[in-house]
Amino acid sequence: MSRKRILVTGGAGFLGSHLCERLLNDGHDVICLDNFFTGSKENVVHLINNPYFELVRHDVISPFFAEVDEIYNLACPASPIHYQYNPIKTVKTSVMGAINMLGLAKRVKAKILQASTSEVYGDPQVHPQTEEYWGHVNPIGLRSCYDEGKRCAETLFVNYRYQNNVRIKIIRIFNTYGPRMSINDGRVVSNFIMQALNNEDITVYGDGSQTRSFQYVDDLVEGMIRMMGTNDDITGPFNLGNPKEFTILDLAEKVIRLTGSKSKIVFKELPSDDPIQRQPRIDLAKQHLNNWEPTVQLEEGLTKTIEYFTKFKNK
């Protein structure tokens, strides 16, 4: 296998750091680009001494220049708390970031992968979600800065392919969890684990019957790398997620049991535009990505994630 020079934007984030680690382990030269808005040096500090790893503080809203073979475009706040903090910046990151990275890919003839999201489906009226579904998104809602930013990024990717023959890949990531998630990102897995470890009430919004499909980060990284390795005529978008569906209440009960917590479950009002169901069909990924599917079961993944979060207990 030839050593490739690979750029990962958002490389110091939760997903990006795991991807950087895997690419280095696979024998590649990795440039990790991050502005550290939600990413953290802590996530990649163990990689700093690797001679094939380069950490660069940079915001993808501004152009970046480097000679690379592949680009994984992951840069964007991905949790509601973070992407709603500065919604205009979120849109800029998705849209200008895509334009700048696609421009780089065009100039150096690199292959480029866009980390899109299941949020492009909004609050879906089709269940489970297939890639053919156009979505049900509120363009002026609280989540629209992220949803519409990612939708626009997909538009840019396909049009750079049509107009400039840029080699693109698009994946739509469904709920992913694992070590290095931010403890204050407001996502359900990190929320529940921290509340359980501190024996606080576990906050369930609505009646807890809304469903999510949770995939462990290692499964996602494997899918991303397989996607990048496909022929140029395979562009996606492909759903990458776990087709096994769990209710939020079921997740809360599992976390309480696995942590041995004394926490009680309390119910609060469901936030605006919060999807009721989210479950991927992954037939296309299985077909084109060498039978890719998640292999880490929820309890196994939660156990590894809880072990990581234990160091933040009572902080």
Distance CA 45, CA 2 (A): 26
- Give the active site residue among 72, 83, 121, 146: 146
- Annotated active-site residue 160? The verdict is no
Positions annotated as catalytic residues are: 146
